[in-house]
């Protein structure tokens, strides 16, 4: 079964006008829009961090409040502020991605010392993190390293749909390319970007302007003027 | 690649580890348990529902409450103002900005430390020997250790909030005072205001304890009711105190919601308001005359000095004191996060707020008596009684911290499928663990000093020996005990500083 | 300026104003104790507060009417604090226990014993035991050795009947405090609490004032199935009134004697007198002398409570 995220006339105050949208978990979708257009709000509606004022958001046919743990962990989020657990080390943060598959005891063992280091090293290799950072506290890492720890945690969660909020904004070009490649290898994703030049690497483009969904099309059908209008001041 | 795998509990787990001691304490309780005191506990519970409403009792309690509040507010105001000043003076940053050197701060800190190491109760009893029954004795007894404790916290805060702008400002040729106003005051104002607000609650409890030991106020009534096991009268006083503390708390919160800085002028003005209020009460506030002859006269006769030191078998007494402190510290630190983890929810936060409030409200000697109704006396029981009381303080700190950081992190964890408890462990508990542990190390000092008030359970520890020496007017022994307690407190403090240091660098290795 | 800031400024202004008013009014307020001589009376804490307040409320009224001076009662909740307050002159006339009275007189040269209750001349303590301890009533004092290795609770550390004399009689029969279980006795803090901790089983044996024991029995607070008396001490002198020197200079010649007669004259025939004597648990007050307490002083010195 291909998991589905369905938004039906979902809106949120001044920030987001009613949006109807269906996301399949085998589609790579990019979300474009100027700052303040409502990209983050839309992503938060999608992962359940915000609830719509009206309308509905369903994952696999159920509203977010009623999702089982198993269903909740199918949606993974790469937050703009990363939301790492600052007091923990790299391995503990990466492992925390797997908390959805384990219980309290496993969570406590993870806090007691390095747990399952081989899996973590593999993931770190995948996101190009040096292996000697394994037990480094994340608060001592650089911005780019932290970004990759968050990505490693996301991969460890093994979600079916990834929501990523401007994952490339703080990265240098080569690092950004790596991160994007990793994200695009995942089954399905919705990624918000400020990079109209990259839309050809996605299956579908969404455009937000002033809280309204104004573009929803395949990348090859989109005209340059449309993209420029998206970023033009109102 | 070789992996070094060792047991290294991460910071969020450390507040929970002391909770393991509860297993031991529970074991002792089960071993020593006896059901013989249930009827007393029932009477105690019944007293809560049906407190005494005898007008004589209520009148006396109301007078006592006012005296306690006047003493608390006065000493709080004085210690806040002096504490901020001394705190600034004993911070390295201050001296570095002013003079480019650090040593005056170190010297001042070392000088102040012994003053802090003596419990306010002991200050009270010592000052009482010299000045007699007088409102100022109680006020000074609280204000002295509170000022110095405040100075320590503030100096720590000043030194850990060093703004990177300071060297820039200095380089730009600003005067030292201007550098401090721009670089130090803004980041510090809020934590300091919060701390000052928090100390009022502590001052009320200290004023109460001084009353328990004879310096007047509500504590006197509470302790007399407790000793005669008049639980109805006791509860009238406890309810009155609870109402007063809730009202004070609301007032402080309202003030904070207007502006967090407002607490500073309030602290400065409060001694004057309290002085005006005090004159309307049956409280001696005339400046006392010192009567040194008795104490000094006894000490001048030095022949007894050395012999007195031999009267106590120190290793045993010190061991008991340290043991009680450790158990109490573990219970106080471990219980709140453990309870939050057992039942993590918004509703539980509210309920725990009430539970911790009740534990803070009930004086430690009363907790000890109630526990004695369930189990035979032992050091662990003494530790538990003290730990429950201080757990009330730690619980409040934990809940306040979590409220101010918010529950966002728990939602993040939950969103990726983590179970509820795990979300709280990796979320809010992890967020506040560092601040919580720092506060716990401060608490450890306070607990060590508080062993003085728990003589009931087996008559063990330095605190008990001190009460015995004071009641025998054996001044040399008093001097020795105060000295040893001060040394222990300072040792505990430097241990606490080390722990803090290791937490700040990285997770502690076991 | 935002509404919030305005409120903050307003509040600051109000606080400053209030502080100013309060301090001005406090300077203006008469310091009631500064000039006028007030007779300060106090007592060691061995009653419940309701009773203490009624008792000393009535006594201050009675004394102030009889002696024609203002009398003030200051509650003290700690034995040692009462002694210190007496020495430093904060209290003029105090109802002391045997030990605390001697301590107070030794520390305050010139202080003297004024009176005691009729029951104080031959006061006794009782040892009580929890049924589960297996201890049976003693027929002679030397059976006190059976207490070795038991958990024993005294009352307050300065109490004559709840600690000093029981410990003395135990010592006479070869039982030292270190012989108790746990390395020493516990201190419940009061006679009533001793009954509670022994009855509950937390402690096996306790020692307390017989008068308090009797009133606990009379009030039905004792479960005879759980706790009973196993031994009564020989009689000794206990509670008494002690007065500071120099009252005659402050209140007029012969004041101390007048005070003594006022106490001795209390009788159940007057309403106040009846209340006071009933609350004291006595028929009347009788004269007492310093010499009556020599034995207590000896015991106090022997046990290290008097230095």
The ipTM assigned to this model is 0.85
Which among B13, B418, B506 is the nearest to A100, CB-wise? B418
Q: What are the distances in angstroms from CA B445 to CA A33, B261, B397, C18, C126?
A: 56, 28, 16, 36, 41
Mean pLDDT of chain B: 84
Predicted confidence (pLDDT) at residue B6 exceeds the cutoff of 70: no
pLDDT for B507 equals 35
pLDDT digits (tens, 9 = 90+) for B319-366: 888 898 899 999 999 999 999 998 888 888 899 999 999 998 888 888
Q: How far is CA B142 from the centre of its chain?
A: 12
Domain count, chain A: 1
| Chain B nearest CA to C194, separation (Å) | 9
Q: How would residue B483 be classed by pLDDT, with cut points 50, 70 and 90?
A: confident
CATH code of the domain in which A191 resides: 3.40.50.300
B456 pLDDT band, cuts 50/70/90, is low
Cβ <8 Å between B506 and A137 = yes
Helices (H), B90-117: 92-99, 103-116
d(CA B398, CA B388): 15
The verdict on a CB contact (< 8 Å) between B419 and A103 is yes
Is A141 a member of any domain? yes
Residue B503 confidence (pLDDT): 67
Answer whether residue B135 shows pLDDT above 80. Answer: yes
- Chain B residues near any Cβ of chain A (below 8 Å): 1, 3, 5-13, 409, 411-419, 421-422, 425-427, 430-431, 433-434, 506-507
pLDDT-derived band at C22 (thresholds 50, 70, 90) equals low
d(C-alpha A88, C-alpha B6), whole Å: 15
Q: What is the pLDDT of residues A113-147, one digit of tens each?
A: 888 899 999 999 998 899 999 988 888 898 889 99
What is the average pLDDT across B413-419? 84
Whether B417 and A111 lie within 8 Å, measured CB to CB: no
In sequence order, the β-bridge partners of residue C229 are: C128
Q: What share of chain C is helix, strand, coil (3-state, %, to 5)?
A: 50, 15, 35
Q: Is A232 on the interface with B (CB under 8 A)?
A: no
Residue B490: pLDDT band with limits 50, 70, 90: confident
Give tens-digit pLDDT for B214-257: 667 888 888 888 888 889 999 999 999 999 989 988 888 888 88
Write out residues 215-234 of C within 8 Å (CB-CB) of B.
221, 223, 226
Q: What is the pLDDT of residue C184?
A: 85
The whole-number average pLDDT for the span A154-176 is 88
pLDDT of residue B365: 80
The answer to whether residues B366 and B64 touch, using CB atoms and an 8 Å cutoff, is: no
- The residue among B12, B16, B411, B417 with the most chain A CBs within 10 A of its CB, best to mutate, is B417
**First-residue to last-residue Cα distance in chain B:** 24
pLDDT at residue B44 is higher than 80: yes
Strands lying side by side in the sheet with A212-217: A75-78, A161-165, A189-192, A28-32, A204-209, A212-217
What is the SS3 assignment for A88? Answer: coil
Of C19, C185, C202, the CB nearest to B34: C202
Whole-number pLDDT of residue B265? 84
pLDDT at site C30 = 45
Greater model confidence, B450 or B72: B72
What CA–CA distance (Å, rounded) separates A162 from A152?
13
pLDDT in tens, C209-264: 999 999 999 989 899 989 999 999 999 999 999 999 989 999 989 999 999 999 99
pLDDT of C167: 95
Alpha-carbon dihedral angle through residues B362, B366, B372, B374, given to the nearest 10 degrees: -30
With CA atoms as reference, the chain B residue closest to A75 would be: B416
For the residues C43-63, what does the mean pLDDT come to?
Answer: 84
CB C144 within 8 A of CB C271: no
Residue of B nearest to C199 (CA): B36
Report in angstroms the alpha-carbon separations of B199 from B77, B119, B146, B357, C212.
10, 15, 8, 15, 41
Integer Cα distance of B223 and B225 in angstroms: 5
Termini Cα distance of chain C: 68
Test C196 with B377 for CB contact under 8 angstroms. Answer: no
Residues of C in contact with B319 (CB under 8 A): none
pLDDT of residue B3: 46
Please say whether the beta carbons of C76 and B220 come within 8 A: yes
Query: Which chains reach chain B with 3 or more Cβ–Cβ distances below 8 angstroms?
Result: A, C
| Residue-level pLDDT at C62 | 93
Taking only the tens place, the pLDDT of each residue in C59-116 is: 999 999 999 999 988 888 788 889 988 988 889 999 999 999 999 999 999 999 999 9
B-interface mutation test, from C28, C98, C200, C226, most B Cβ less than 10 A away: C200
Query: Is A165 among the domain residues?
Result: yes
Q: Is residue A17 part of a domain?
A: no
Whether residue B417 and residue A47 make contact (CB cut-off 8 A), yes or no, is no
Taking alpha carbons only, the member of C184, C210, C208, C212 closest to residue C198 is C208
Tell me the shortest Cα–Cα distance from B473 to chain C, in angstroms. Answer: 7
pLDDT band at residue B2 under the 50/70/90 scheme? very low
Question: From CA B237, how far away is CA B231, in angstroms rounded?
Answer: 10
pLDDT in tens, B184-211: 787 788 778 888 888 888 898 888 888 7
How far is CA C27 from its chain centroid? 36
pLDDT of residue B335: 94
Give the pLDDT score at C33: 45
* CA–CA dist B11, A112 (Å, integer): 9
Say how far apart CA B259 and CA A165 lie, in whole Å: 35
Q: What is the mean pLDDT of residues C123-144?
A: 93
- Average pLDDT for B266-289: 80
pLDDT (tens digit, 9 = 90+) per residue, A179-194?
Answer: 899 999 888 899 998 8
| Beta-strand relationship, C152-154 and A161-165 | unpaired
Give the largest Cα separation in chain C, rounded: 87
Of all residues in chain B, the one with the smallest CA distance to A117 is: B3
Report residue B508 as tokens.
Answer: 């502690």
Secondary structure of residue C289 in the 3-state scheme: coil
Q: Are B419 and A96 within 8 A, CB to CB?
A: no
Closest alpha carbon to C125 in C243, C273, C299, C267 = C299
A36: left (phi over 0), alpha (psi -120 to 50) or beta: left
CATH domain B292-510 topology: MetI-like fold (1.10.3720)
Distance CA B300, CA B327 (A): 39
Q: Which residues of C touch B376 (CB under 8 A)?
A: 151, 201-203
Q: What is the mean pLDDT of residues C123-152?
A: 93
What is the end-to-end Cα distance of chain A in Å, rounded? 42
Mean model confidence pLDDT for chain A: 88
Q: Which CA distances in Å does A122 have to A90, A186, B259, C32?
A: 13, 16, 51, 83
A180 in a structural domain:
yes
Which one of A77, A111, A137 has the shortest CB-CB distance to B13? A111
Domain covering C125-232, topology:
D-Maltodextrin-Binding Protein; domain 2 (3.40.190)
Contact B372, B329 (CB under 8 A): no
Please provide the average confidence, as pLDDT, over all residues in chain C: 87
A49 close to A163: Cβ distance less than 8 angstroms: no
B233 → closest Cβ in C16, C49, C184: C49
Nearest CA in chain A to B9: A112
The encoded tokens of residue B425 equal: 């462990």
CB A209 within 8 A of CB A233: no
Instruction: Report yes or no: C64 and C38 within 8 Å, Cβ to Cβ.
Output: no
Average of per-residue pLDDT across B469-490? 86
Q: Which residues of B touch A70 (CB under 8 A)?
A: 417
The CA-based dihedral angle spanning residues A94, A98, A100, A103, taken in that order and rounded to the nearest 10 degrees:
-110
Region of poorest pLDDT, from B138-142, B321-325, B454-458, C74-78: B454-458
Q: How many CB atoms lie within 10 A of CB B99?
A: 11
Instruction: List where CATH 1.10.3720.10 sits in chain B.
Output: 51-291, 292-510
Measured between alpha carbons, how far is A122 from C214 in angstroms, rounded to an integer?
Answer: 80
Interface test with C, best of B381, B384, B473, B479 (most C CBs within 10 A): B473
Give burial (CB, 10 Å; 0-12/13-18/19+) of B296. Answer: exposed
The whole-angstrom distance between residue B343's C-alpha and the CA centroid of its chain comes to 26
H helices then E strands: how many in chain C?
A: 11, 11
Position A29 pLDDT exceeds 50: yes
- A 87-146 residues with CB below 8 A of B? 87-89, 92, 96-97, 99-101, 103-104, 107-108, 111-114, 117, 121, 131, 134-135, 137
What CATH architecture is C39-121+238-302? 3-Layer(aba) Sandwich (3.40)
Complete DSSP assignment for A155-193: HHH--SEEEEESTTTTS-HHHHHHHHHHHHHSS-EEEE-
Please report where in the chains the tokens 């990348």 appear, as a residue: A219
**pLDDT-based confidence at B294, cuts 50/70/90?**
low
- Superfamily holding B51-291: MetI-like (1.10.3720.10)
C15 vs B468: CB contact, 8 Å cut-off?
no
Domain C125-232 in the same topology as domain C39-121+238-302: yes
Task: Kindly list the distances between the CA atom of residue C248 and the CA atoms of A58, B379, C173, C216, C258, in Å, as whole numbers in the listed order.
Answer: 93, 52, 46, 41, 10
How close does chain B come to A104, measured CA to CA in Å?
Answer: 6
Shortest alpha-carbon distance between residue C239 and chain B (Å): 17
B7: which 2 tokens?
């047991």
């Amino acid at each position: 079964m291909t998991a589905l995220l369905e938004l039906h006339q979902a809106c949120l105050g001044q920030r987001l006008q009613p949006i109807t949208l269906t996301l399949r978990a085998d589609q790579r979708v990019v979300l474009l829009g100027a700052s303040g257009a409502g990209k983050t709000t839309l992503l938060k509606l999608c992962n359940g961090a915000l609830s719509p004022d009206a309308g509905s958001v369903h994952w696999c046919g159920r509203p977010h409040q009623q999702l089982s743990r198993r269903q909740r962990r199918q949606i993974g989020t790469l937050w703009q502020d990363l939301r790492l657990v600052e007091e923990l080390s790299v391995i503990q943060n990466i492992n925390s991605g797997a908390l959805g598959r384990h219980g309290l005891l496993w969570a406590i063992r993870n806090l007691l010392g390095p747990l399952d280091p081989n899996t973590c090293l593999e993931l770190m290799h995948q996101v190009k993190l040096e292996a000697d950072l394994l037990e480094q506290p994340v608060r001592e890492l650089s911005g780019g390293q932290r970004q990759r720890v968050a990505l490693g945690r996301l991969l460890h969660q093994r979600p079916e749909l990834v929501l990523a909020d401007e994952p490339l904004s703080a990265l240098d070009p080569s690092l950004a390319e790596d991160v994007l490649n990793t994200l695009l290898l995942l089954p399905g994703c919705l990624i918000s970007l400020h990079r109209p030049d990259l839309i050809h690497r996605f299956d579908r483009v969404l455009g937000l302007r002033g809280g309204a969904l104004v573009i929803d099309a395949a990348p090859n059908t989109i005209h340059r003027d449309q993209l420029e209008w998206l970023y033009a001041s109102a | 690649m070789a992996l070094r795998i060792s047991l290294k509990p991460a910071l969020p787990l450390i507040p929970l580890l002391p909770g393991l001691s509860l297993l031991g304490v529970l074991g002792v309780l089960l071993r020593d348990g006896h059901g013989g005191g249930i009827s007393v506990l029932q009477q105690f519970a019944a007293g809560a529902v049906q407190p005494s409403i005898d007008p004589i009792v209520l009148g006396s309690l109301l007078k006592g409450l006012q005296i306690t509040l006047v003493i608390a507010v006065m000493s709080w105001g004085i210690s806040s103002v002096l504490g901020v000043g001394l705190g600034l003076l004993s911070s390295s940053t201050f001296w570095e900005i002013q003079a480019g050197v650090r040593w005056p701060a170190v010297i001042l800190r070392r000088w102040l430390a012994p003053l802090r190491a003596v419990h306010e109760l002991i200050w009270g009893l010592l000052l009482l020997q010299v000045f007699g029954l007088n409102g100022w004795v109680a006020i000074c007894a609280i204000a002295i250790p509170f000022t110095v404790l405040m100075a320590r916290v503030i100096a720590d805060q000043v030194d850990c909030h060093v703004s990177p702008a300071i060297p820039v400002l200095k380089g730009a040729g600003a005067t030292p005072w201007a550098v401090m106003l721009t670089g130090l005051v803004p980041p510090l104002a809020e934590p300091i205001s919060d701390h000052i607000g928090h100390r009022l609650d502590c001052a009320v409890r200290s004023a109460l304890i001084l009353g328990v030991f004879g310096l007047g106020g509500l504590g006197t009534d509470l302790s007399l009711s407790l000793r005669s096991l008049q639980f109805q009268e006791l509860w009238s006083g406890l309810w009155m105190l609870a109402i007063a503390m809730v009202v004070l708390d609301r007032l402080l919160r309202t003030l904070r919601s207007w502006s967090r800085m407002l607490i500073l002028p309030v602290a400065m003005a409060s001694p004057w308001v309290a002085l005006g209020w005090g004159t309307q009460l049956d409280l001696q506030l005339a400046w006392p005359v010192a009567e040194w002859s008795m104490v000094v006269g006894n000490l001048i006769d030095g022949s007894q000095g050395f012999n007195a030191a031999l009267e106590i078998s120190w290793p045993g007494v010190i061991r008991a004191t340290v043991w009680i402190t450790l158990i109490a510290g573990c219970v106080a630190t471990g219980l709140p996060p453990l309870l939050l983890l057992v039942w993590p929810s918004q509703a539980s936060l509210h309920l725990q707020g009430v539970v911790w409030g009740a534990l803070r409200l009930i004086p430690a000697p009363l907790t000890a008596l109630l526990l004695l109704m369930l189990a035979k006396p032992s050091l662990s029981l003494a530790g538990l009684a003290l730990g429950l009381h201080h757990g009330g303080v730690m619980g409040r700190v934990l809940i306040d911290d979590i409220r101010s950081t918010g529950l966002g992190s728990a939602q993040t964890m939950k969103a990726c499928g983590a179970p509820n408890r795990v979300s709280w462990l990796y979320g809010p508990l992890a967020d506040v663990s560092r601040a919580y542990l720092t506060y716990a190390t401060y608490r450890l000092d306070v607990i060590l000093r508080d062993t003085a008030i728990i003589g009931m359970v087996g008559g063990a520890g330095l605190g008990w020996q001190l009460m015995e020496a004071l009641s025998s007017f054996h001044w040399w022994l008093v001097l020795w005990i105060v000295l040893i307690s001060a040394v222990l407190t300072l040792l505990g403090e430097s241990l606490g500083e080390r722990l803090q240091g290791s937490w700040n660098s990285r997770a502690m290795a076991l | 300026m935002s509404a919030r800031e305005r409120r903050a400024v307003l509040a600051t202004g109000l606080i400053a104003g209030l502080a100013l008013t309060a301090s001005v009014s406090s300077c203006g307020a008469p310091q009631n104790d500064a000039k006028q001589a007030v007779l300060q009376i106090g007592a060691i804490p061995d009653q419940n507060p309701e009773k203490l307040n009624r008792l000393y409320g009535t006594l201050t009224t009675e004394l102030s009417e009889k002696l024609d001076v203002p009398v003030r009662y200051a509650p003290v909740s700690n034995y040692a604090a009462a002694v210190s307050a007496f020495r430093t002159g904060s209290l003029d006339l105090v109802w002391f226990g045997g030990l605390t009275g001697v301590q107070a007189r030794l520390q305050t040269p010139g202080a003297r014993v004024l009176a005691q209750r009729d029951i104080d001349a031959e006061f006794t303590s009782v040892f009580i035991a929890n049924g589960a301890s297996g201890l049976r009533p003693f027929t002679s004092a030397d059976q006190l050795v059976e207490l070795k290795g038991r958990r024993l609770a005294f009352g307050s550390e300065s109490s004559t009947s709840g600690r000093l004399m029981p410990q003395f009689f135990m010592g006479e029969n070869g039982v030292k405090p270190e012989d108790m279980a746990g390395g020493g006795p516990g201190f419940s803090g009061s006679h009533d609490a001793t009954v509670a901790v022994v009855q509950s089983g937390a402690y096996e044996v306790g020692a307390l004032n017989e008068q308090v024991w009797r009133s606990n029995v009379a009030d039905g607070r004792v479960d005879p199935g759980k706790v009973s008396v196993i031994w009564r001490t020989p009689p000794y002198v206990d509670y008494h009134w002690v007065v500071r020197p120099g009252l005659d200079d402050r209140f007029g010649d012969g004041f101390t004697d007048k005070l003594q007669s006022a106490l001795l004259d209390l009788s159940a025939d007057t309403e106040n007198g009846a209340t006071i004597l009933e609350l004291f648990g006595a028929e009347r007050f009788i004269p007492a002398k310093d010499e009556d307490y020599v034995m207590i002083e000896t015991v106090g010195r022997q046990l290290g409570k008097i230095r």
